Amino acid sequence: MRSFAATALGAWLVLASVPGAFANCAADDPGGSKTLAARQQVATDCTCDHSSPPTVNHGQYVQCAAGVAKTRSSLASTDPNFLPTTCKGAVKKCAAHSTCGKPGFVTCCLTNPTTGATKCKIKSSAMKCTDKQGTPGTCSSCCDACPPPGSGPSCAASPSGAFLDIPVADFEPLLCSSAPAPLISLGAKVTPPPPSAASGAANVARIYVVHVA
């Protein structure tokens, strides 16, 4: 399994390839470490809520992430928590391209059969992703999700990025059908939520994915 650092660098190279403000960010934060540190704070300080309905909606989550970036960018450049002003947009972009505050939504890794390149899109359900021959990601942000299994700050919600909560309704057609179930990876299992689950969690299934080296 690839390392967190390698995946984070890959996500950073994608952001750095975008012209304009993000290109300036790549120059001001060459290794991407300051942007990564800001995103790690977002993962800690901002609630990524997938309950239905969410107590923190998507807009509020993005606003929180933008606030973290703004606070860090206002620090002295010598401060270890300083974030270059040109990198605020990158932090906000990763929050905006996430499933936080969007119950049922998933990150979806789509691979171009011709070039082999993988890109990430946000889909309203796991079924919408697999219908496009995509692979649902285990991370909440497209900055971390692809290629699967993904790694980065937005994957911390599940221990070692090992599982993804998805509405049970998305699995009913698969669980009640004899048709192949492309959504469930080799070694995966679906377990119902515990009886004491919080409100809104009763309609969630948890997929444990085993990655084979």
The residue from 73, 96, 119 where one domain ends is 96
Give domain status of residue 213, yes or no.
no
* Token pair belonging to 125: 């359900």
Give domain status of residue 101, yes or no.
no
First CA to last CA across the chain, in angstroms? 6
* Token pair belonging to 79: 């401060």
Quote the pLDDT of residue 32. 94
Quote the pLDDT of residue 182. 47
Identity of the residue numbered 2 = R
Quote the pLDDT of residue 22. 54
Decide: 148 and 165 in contact? Cβ < 8 Å.
no
Q: Quick one: 130 and 150 in the same domain? A: yes
Half-sphere exposure for 102 (CA within 13 Å, toward CB):
19
Consecutive 10-residue averages of pLDDT for the chain (213 residues): 41 46 81 96 96 96 98 96 96 97 96 93 96 94 93 69 46 48 42 41 43 36
Quote the pLDDT of residue 185. 41
Quote the pLDDT of residue 91. 97
No. of helices (H) and no. of strands (E), the chain: 8, 6
Report CA-CA distances (Å) from 87 to 98, 121, 122, 152.
18, 22, 22, 17
Quote the pLDDT of residue 156. 59
Quote the pLDDT of residue 212. 36
Residue count of the chain = 213
Give domain status of residue 87, yes or no.
yes
Please name which of 210, 130, 200, 213 lies closest in space to residue 165, comparing C-alpha atoms: 200
The residue from 35, 63, 96 where one domain ends is 96
- Which residue has 């979806």 as its token pair? 108
- 3-state class (DSSP) for residue 185: coil
- 3-state class (DSSP) for residue 29: coil
Instruction: Give the residue numbers spanning the domain of 30.
Output: 4-96
Quote the pLDDT of residue 70. 97
Q: Quick one: 136 and 88 in the same domain? A: no
- 3-state class (DSSP) for residue 100: coil
Total domains in the fold of the chain: 2
Q: Quick one: 128 and 40 in the same domain? A: no
Q: Quick one: 131 and 75 in the same domain? A: no
Q: Quick one: 79 and 112 in the same domain? A: no
Decide: 200 and 192 in contact? Cβ < 8 Å.
no
